[in-house]
Amino acid sequence: MHSQLPDFAMPNDEQVHLAAESFRLLADPTRMKILWALLQGESSVACLAELVGATPTAVSQHLAKLRLAGLVRGRREANFVFYSAADVHVRQLLAAALFHAGEVERAEAGEPARSRPTP
């Protein structure tokens, strides 16, 4: 049935695995906060820890996982590492997830849906 659709194409196994891994890593509120902060500009571990209300050690561990998944990048300057979101796709992914969460809240409150903003 699907094979008869003109533009239908399944992603390959590697794409599905990588996407699922990204979603798995984003399934943590602290990591989402870290990414949101990094979308506003690069930051150090200490600054991120203060912003998200976690210890620097915990933030470092989260950043290591996000970095391995290709969601953040690090830039060394002297004895410090400054982190940033990897690319515009991270912004789009996080914005879509947060927009959807807002829509779920609105629906539960009986409010009308909003039109989706462009990221």
Dist. CA 110–CA 108, nearest whole Å: 5
pLDDT at 119 over 70: no
CB 48 within 8 A of CB 33: no
Q: Which residues contact 98 (CB under 8 A, 6 or more apart)?
A: 32, 36
Residue 99 corresponds to which tokens in the numbers above?
């927009």
Q: For the segment 32-58, what is each residue's pLDDT rounded down to a tens digit?
A: 999 999 999 999 999 999 999 999 999
Does 13 map to a domain?
A: no
Give the number of other CB atoms < 10 A from CB of residue 106.
13
The amino acid that residue 45 corresponds to is V
pLDDT at 26 over 60: yes
Check which CATH number belongs to the domain holding 34 and give it: 1.10.10.10
| Res 115: pLDDT | 72
Q: What is the 8-class DSSP label of residue 117?
A: P
For residue 83, which phi and psi values (nearest 5 degrees)?
A: -105, 150
Does 118 map to a domain?
A: no
Does 73 map to a domain?
A: yes
Does 34 map to a domain?
A: yes
Q: For the segment 67-116, what is each residue's pLDDT rounded down to a tens digit?
A: 988 899 999 999 999 999 999 989 998 988 888 888 888 888 888 887 76
Predicted TM-score (pTM) of the model is 0.80
Dist. CA 76–CA 79, nearest whole Å: 7
